[in-house]
Structures are given as C-alpha cells and as structure tokens.
Amino acid sequence: MTAPLHRGLRHLALRVMDLPRSRRFYEQILGMQVVWEPDPENVYFSSGVDNLALHQISKHELDSYESSKTQLLDHMGVILESPQAVDQMYREIMPSIESLGGRITKLPKLHRDGSYSFYFSDPDGNVIQALYEPAISRLTIGLSNED
C-alpha cells in the first residue's frame, strides 16, 4: 500500500469508572462538546475534527474491576498550534485539573525532535499529551460535504 486508505486517527473510545465525572473532565479541561448521548452509559464528544467516546464500565465489571499497575494505552494526544499554545493550555488547566479528578504528570518540556509538550491524566488515569509537533501542528483538516 503506497497511501493509507483512511483519513487519520480521529476516533478514540475509552471505558471509564465514573461517567459523569469523566464527562465533566473532558468538557471542562479539553472543551469537548457532546454530539450524541444515546443512553446514561455512553457519551460521544467532538472538538470539531475528531470523536471521543466514553463508555461506563458496567456495574458487574466495576464490582470486580482491578486497576492494573500498568496502563496498556501509553497516552493519547491533542495537537496545539505552537509552543506558546502549549504553555497557555498548561496555565489554564492548572487551577482546576485536580478538582476535576485529573493531575499533571509531566511539566512542559522541549523534546529532542523540536516538539514541545506536557502530560496530564484524566480521572481514570488515562494520560493525555498536550503537544506541539512541528510537522503536524500547522496542518489544517479540510472538510467538505463529501467527508
């Protein structure tokens, strides 16, 4: 295959322990907007070009759930347009992230490849990287009626 047949990784689904808590976190920290809420156990968000699904772990599974010492998902990321935007996001979420169940896991840092980022976690411990990446941060996604 010379070119991918897909249009990119624009959908992520996470299972969460407390859906209302996770919903508040993603709405308030990442500004995600609800696009569909089919029932009390599922909510779908978008930032305009992507889709995030949160699914409540069932009561049966939650009663026997044992948190792993390691997370299989290393991290997910949100792309920012500049290092200054990374710093701005860091400053803006710092006052409220812990009250929403999250925490900062790595401070802002310039990486060897010229990218710049910091990491934070959601209420279930999923790690999110706020990332400026020179090769993709300035790209725009052209949407048309055919998308």
Question: What are the pLDDT digits (tens) for 40-65?
Answer: 999 999 998 899 999 999 888 877 77
Query: In the prediction, which pLDDT does 109 show?
Result: 97
- What's the whole-model pTM score? 0.85
Residues 12 and 140: their CA atoms lie apart, in Å, by 20
Query: In the prediction, which pLDDT does 71 show?
Result: 62
Average pLDDT, the chain: 89
Question: What are the pLDDT digits (tens) for 82-139?
Answer: 999 999 999 999 999 999 999 999 999 999 999 999 999 999 999 999 999 998 888 8
DSSP secondary structure of 101-133: T-EEEEEEEE-TTS-EEEEEE-TT--EEEEEE-
